[in-house]
Structure 1
């Protein structure tokens, strides 16, 4: 469904080279600022252990002398005004590939239609420990980035907050004067899914969540619990389970819980992949879906509509989100967005598609929690 005939991806897992500085001038900056050469280096590499006073003094000295790290000089002299990178956190592990591919498609389509350079990188926590975020971007002449899949404890997070490089994060809010974010309202979406299941008489629900340290997982968990509170019910003691967006883990967890707690009558899953694992576990135990156990997923992957029974899920239009994220990055680069960070957080529309796995009477759709005519045009 998603093909990129004109696009070549460069996916890097190799360590980054050390940033080289103009040796003579770095000593001059150190002299004028009254600090060591090592301190100057740490300032320009955005190490957090340098005081704000020292940081300002070093940068003032650098400006006075016209000192620029050579990688930054190459960026400034580049003929490409905007070179946008999409940085994914190991998209192929756990969550379905289609989600990452839809996001790539959206960023790529915006970049190519606006004559903007685009490159894809993948990262993880270990790679992030080797180089700072600024080093990563400067060595590659990146002028702005879209990031997706970062965990709340990843090293890049705190570095992005203080970076001068524009960043738009997907499904994650990172504070900073040069950041923006885009997502659906994940808390509301999961609340809607859970409320609909409870309203259909299901009270013993389990949530199969993704990564505990992912903001998107935390938001969806809040929505799940909020649904119980709003309807006056109490969740089970063991109601939240983590399967790291892995289908097999979800299958194993669901099978164990169904054997230990036969009263369970529904599963809310934070991805379609995990929901498929749960569906297989429930059916393997001889239970009927949705008559005895309901199952809902998240992401509306292609497979979800072809399962037996078809899977209820949430469509969040990741391709459109990628397109909007790329536009936000370019607007940040060109200083076209408000300085107020709260005004740089964008929520896009979602749809809850209720199919056979949670519905006895066919299928229906809700947009942003409200039933809508299927003929309407979606707006992001």
Structure 2
């Protein structure tokens, strides 16, 4: 059984309060008592509880991080950036995954409050009804520094780091139109999410600027999973004309779309064009020469952690927001296809 501070107190012959002061590095302890306690801690191999220490100080050296999809490489890289900055500041990271579930998000926030965290970095769950006053108050009632990552919360004034998703989708849709495409499918994820709404707006604005009407069936709405994108792409191939180009609005959606295209042996860029939003290591490993929008997720994490630490240290009192522009990597998959896949017959596999 692990040693407790009561065991330390008995071994050192001092009070519990003295042990607590030594653990919390309080100067109000004599050198003699301090040596007794430190000797007992070493002999009993006692490991102090960060949770208990946080309660006694009403503050810990922990920052909370909440993400919606820890398996997504994008968020893994964001966490890497956050951790690199936190480590240099002597802060520990307590991580929670919500699976895009608002109840799990609320539970994670309650647990983090119990740990007396110094601040919170969060990519919030978003949807139809979450942006009411009660949802915003849930964050405000934490009474600690909060930095949002990748997704904003309407009607709030929190610090945040975001990519200009609308401008990025406008840019890549315009690029496809410039290459002769008018029939462009967008794997759109959940259209109730603000991040999806911004990207869909960018897609639609590019068509409007070119005075072209997009086909309604080409906005493929579901959720943000690989399976959703896979099924939506398959359905489009089997029930409609195949567009000349596809846009994967996230790395997961790109993977699902590419899986379906591969299953039907539809070649990129010979038969369809493709642009992905977010880079994946898989693209390089499989030597897929895809035109991609690359977001520096590690840098986003670093910037979010820097904002949070400034808030914690009182260096920033106003609301600060970084709007980052992703980089477009041109690799040729945006070109107009050489042959028409609609001349082939496709059946369910």
- Tell me if TM exceeds 0.5: yes
SS of the residue 2:217 aligns to: coil
Maintained 8 Å contact 2:184/2:243: yes
Deviations 1:206-232 (A, max 9, x none): 110122332221211111111111221
Q: Answer yes or no: is 1:357 the counterpart of 2:333.
A: yes
Aligned partners of 1:239, 1:158: CA distance in 2, in Å? 37
Counterparts in 2 of 1:76 and 1:212: CA distance versus 1, 3 Å: farther
- Unaligned 5+ segments in structure 2 are 1-50, 338-349
Match of residue 194 from structure 2: 215
What is the aligned partner in structure 1 of residue 175 from structure 2?
Answer: 196
Q: Within 5 Å, give how 1:1-380 maps onto structure 2.
A: 77-78=57-58, 80=60, 82-92=61-71, 97-123=72-98, 124-128=101-105, 131=107, 133=109, 135-152=110-127, 153-154=129-130, 157-174=136-153, 179-307=158-286, 309-339=288-318, 341=319, 344-359=320-335
Q: How has the CA–CA distance of structure 1 residues 231 and 337 changed in structure 2, closer, same or farther, with 3 Å as cutoff?
A: farther
Instruction: Measure how far apart 1:165 and its partner are.
Output: 1.4
CA distance in 1, matches of 2:170, 2:186: 11
Q: RMSD of the alignment, in Å?
A: 2.8
Rounded to whole Å, the distance in 1 between the matches of 2:291 and 2:240 is: 23
Bigger radius of gyration, 1 or 2?
Answer: 2
Q: Are 2:311 and 2:317, in contact at CA under 8 Å, matched by a contact in 1? A: no
Question: SS at the partner of 1:201?
Answer: coil
Conserved? CA contact 1:89–1:148, under 8 Å? yes
Provide the rounded CA distance (Å) in 1 between the counterparts of 2:126 and 2:213. 29
Note if contact 2:85-2:306 (Cα within 8 Å) is conserved in structure 1: yes
1:278/1:295 contact within 8 Å kept: no
1:273 & 1:176 partners in 2: Cα distance?
29
8 Å CA contact 2:85–2:302 kept in 1: the answer is yes
1 CA distance for matches of 2:162 and 2:240? 35
Distance 2:265 2:108 in 1: 52
Secondary structure in 2 aligned to 1:297?
A: strand
- State the secondary structure of the residue aligned to 2:83: helix
Aligned CA distance change for structure 1 residues 262 and 256 (closer, same or farther; 3 Å): same
**Counterparts of 1:273 and 1:90 in 2: how far apart (Å)?**
11
How many residues align structurally?
A: 281
Q: Under a length normalisation based on structure 1, what TM-score does the superposition of the two structures give?
A: 0.67
Q: Deviations over 1:181-202 (max 9, x none)?
A: 1011111111111110111011
Change in 2 beyond 3 A, CA 1:158/1:204: farther
Distance 1:352 1:218 in 2: 21
Q: Secondary structure at the match of 2:258?
A: helix
TM-score of the aligned structures, taking structure 2 as reference length: 0.72
SS at match of 2:333: helix
8 Å CA contact 1:305–1:311 kept in 2: the answer is no
